[in-house]
Every structure is written in C-alpha cells, then in structure tokens.
Amino acid sequence: MVQKKKGPPQGDLPQKMAAAPVEPKRRGRPRAYEPDVALGKALDLFRSTGFAATSLDDLSAATGMNRPSLYGAFGDKRELYIKSYQRYRDNARAVMGEIFRHDWPVREQLQKIFAAALDIYLSGGEGPRGCFTVMTAGSEAVADPDIRAMVQNALTELDMAFARCFRRAKEKGELPADADPAVLARLASATIHSIAVRARARAPRQELEAIVAGAIDVMVGKG
C-alpha cells in the first residue's frame, strides 16, 4: 500500500495563476522527466497506434518514464489516454481559436483554418497521424461514455466555431442572403473530417489542399 489511491500527484498546481517556472523547492528525489513533454510523447504514440495497440511498454519507452512513474504521474492506461486526448484538444482549440478569433474575410479565415488542420494532421515523424478525434477516439467512443462525450464535444465545438464564422460573414454581406450558416458549418466540418480520414490513408498533401480549395469555393463562392 505504497502509492495507492491517492490519485495522481497532480504535479505542482500553483495556487492561483502564476506561470510558475520557479520551482517551489520540491521535497524528495527530483523527477527525471518533464510531465508536459512526456504527455506529448504519449499523445504522439496513442495518435498513431490507437489505444489497444499501444502497450505500456511502448509508452514507457517513448516517454522515458518507467511504468510506476507513468502511473504516479498520469494514472492507468485509460487515464493517460484521456489526458493525452485532452491535451490534443487543448492544442487544437488554441490553434484554431486563434484564427477564428480574428475578424478576417471568410475566405481567408477558412483558408487559414484548413491549413492549420492540415498541419496538425500531416505533422509527425513517419507517416501522417491524422486526427485524434476522428481516428482513435472515435473508435473508443462507442464503448466508453467519457470518451464519447469528449468526441461529441469536439464535434459540436467545431460546428459552432464554423457556424459563428459564417454567421458573421453573412452579416458582413460576404455571403448571399439565402446562405444557411449552420448548413455551411456542417459542410466545413465535413471537409475537416474528410481530410483527416484521407490523411490517414496517406493522401498527398497536394490532393488535400485541392479538396480544401474546392470546398471553399462551393461554400463561399469562387474568389
């Protein structure tokens, strides 16, 4: 009963909102890993091999942490998976949100969004890893309610962001009066889903960019 059921030690967790690069003088033996980069490695691995096919040995090797350290830091395999997915979503949300935030012309904004998505899907060492939501999380979503909720959330979040974008464009007169922002948003999301799937099958970037360009033309008219 050494480290049982006191939950993951949750790292530092500074009281309020200090960025805390200052170590508050930890007590025992210092960590040999940085939780953040370790989680990033785990994310990469889960993203390319999925949940079931990724063993704790693989994760251990990738993160450089041995198994007890993994458990201490992140909990069991499922928790680590969920934390990885959360991190992926946080990152995607940050990147996308930064673009959606601006008040650019629709066409330009869509181009930037899709380019960012492509960067995410095609990044990584060997072979494109696609989208966490579409590929591996979608698989687990059927059996695991928590993951399913996260996936649903990711899907609707994207729909909403696109819908807001199109609504604004319509108000600014960039879209015809009969354009339906909600419908266009679903189409934009669908384009995202489609390039995620195709990226996984190693479609060349050029092809994906052509798909994006065509979709934009249909959605907001040929520029």
Partner DNA sequence: TGATTTTTATACTGTCTCGCATAATATAAG
Partner DNA sequence: CTTATATTATGCGAGACAGTATAAAAATCA
Summarize as ranges the residues that interact with a second copy (CB under 8 A). Answer: 48-53, 127-130, 133-136, 138-139, 141-143, 148, 151-152, 155, 178, 180, 182-184, 186-187, 189-191, 193-194, 197-198, 200-203, 211, 214-215, 217-219, 222
Examine residue 194 and tell whether it contacts DNA (CB under 7 A): no
30 binds, among DNA, a second copy, none (CB under 5 to 8 A by kind): DNA
CB 195 within 8 A of CB 211: yes
DSSP 114-140: HHHHHHHHH-SSSS----TIIIIIHHH
164 binds, among a second copy, DNA, none (CB under 5 to 8 A by kind): none
CA distance linking residue 23 with residue 198, whole number of Å = 44
CA distance linking residue 11 with residue 30, whole number of Å = 12
Task: Give the tokens for residue 182.
Answer: 């909600």
Between 108 and 146, whose beta carbon lies closer to DNA? 146
DSSP 28-39: SSPPSS-HHHHH
Q: What is the distance, to the nearest Å, from the Cα of residue 163 to the centroid of all Cα atoms in its chain?
A: 19
DSSP at 16: S
DSSP at 137: I
91 binds, among DNA, a second copy, none (CB under 5 to 8 A by kind): none
Minimum gap (Å) between residue 52 Cβ and a second copy: 4
13 binds, among a second copy, DNA, none (CB under 5 to 8 A by kind): none
208 binds, among DNA, a second copy, none (CB under 5 to 8 A by kind): none
| Of residues 62-81, those binding DNA (CB under 7 A) | 65-69, 71-73, 76-78
| Of residues 37-56, those binding DNA (CB under 7 A) | 54-56
CA distance linking residue 57 with residue 69, whole number of Å = 12
Strand, helix or coil at 52? coil
Between 40 and 72, whose beta carbon lies closer to DNA? 72
Which residues lie near DNA (CB under 7 A)? 1-4, 9, 25-33, 54-57, 65-69, 71-73, 76-78
